[in-house]
Amino acid sequence: MEVSSWEMEKYLANPSLRTSVGSDWGHLTVRTRLEPASCRYLRIPATPDPWLVLTTGGGPRKTEVRSRNGWNCASSGPGNIALTSPGKSTEIRWDRGDGSGIETIHVCIDAALFHRFAAENFKCDPARVEIIDGFAQHDPLIYSVVSSLGDELKHGERAGRLFVDSAAQMLVAQLLRKYCAFPVALPDQQARLSARRLRLVEDYIQAGLASRLTLEDIAASIHMSAYHFARMFKATTGQTPHAYVTRLRIERAQELLRTSRWSTPAIARRVGFASKSHFAATFLRLTGISPHLFRNATSSKTSDEEM
């Protein structure tokens, strides 16, 4: 039996603290959880999607996963990652010993993205792609990306689709590079966008700053795959698409704060932020000043110049 990543919730040991299910998170299903300290036996049905579990809190525990050769045992704890390949059910048991819970972040990656990514960027037959399972892996890149997704889920009002799309691409690339059952050829890491293509992308982003831009839509505007585009864009500009768009949104907001009488929430919406609080926090992070103080400072400067 296979279940969807959305349905997996009812097969886990207890309800998740937060979930992206029902939100616009594109190709990812993300859950933050507090697992019980021990579980004598849990069977989770197969899902068509690759599945990652990052342990973020709680001490070391004894974890056992059943394979064809019986129960495999390892000590796992904060920073460890478990990987389950598509189409494979999981039989697991664990015991922390001291009775306290275990903090985790679960990420399921849509199988359609995974297989399309393999075909477009690694030139391999998606039907042959197989991920090697593991339940006590150490991977700094996956740790960083999954931790960031958990943080975005915790602050749901600021979750940006462009950020989530970029995270999905990075996770798929790392799974294929490091955990594929057979070697895959890496794309050219030095390729860059032509001046014409970069100009087309910049025009597309400028025209859509107020909308919910996605990585796939931006890439499609110049007829490229999302991952290939993201790599070439960063090689060309030195920034990720997400960072670049965020910077342009704040620059547009600065212009509107100087030249318009719109309220801060109205400006936040016009430059593509879902909430005033996320806009204010991002504005402060990039400029070192709040939108309110920025407007007051530029208004005072204008008045002094007029005198």
Residue 58, C-beta contacts closer than 8 angstroms, at least 6 positions apart: 35, 37, 77, 78, 96, 100, 101, 102, 103
| 80 token code pair | 């460890």
Task: Please report the pLDDT score of residue 154 as a whole number.
Answer: 87
Query: Angle at CA 190, nearest 5°, toward 184 and 194?
Result: 120
| pLDDT for 301 | 58
Give the whole-angstrom CA distance, residue 124 versus residue 50.
Answer: 17
**What is the DSSP code string of 179-198?**
HBSS--PPP-TT----HHHH
Do 168 and 227 meet the contact criterion of CB atoms below 8 Å apart?
A: no
| pLDDT per residue as tens digits for the range 230-274 | 989 999 999 999 999 999 999 999 999 999 999 999 999 999 998
Query: CATH homologous superfamily of domain 244-306?
Result: Homeodomain-like (1.10.10.60)
| pTM (two decimals) | 0.86
**pLDDT score at 306:** 46
- What is the CATH number assigned to the segment(s) 7-179? 2.60.120.810
Mean pLDDT by 10 residues, the chain (307 residues): 92 95 92 95 94 91 89 90 92 86 95 87 75 88 96 77 92 90 70 94 94 93 91 93 95 96 94 90 95 88 48
Cβ distance 278 to 158 under 8 Å? yes
Q: Which two tokens stand for residue 56?
A: 């973020």
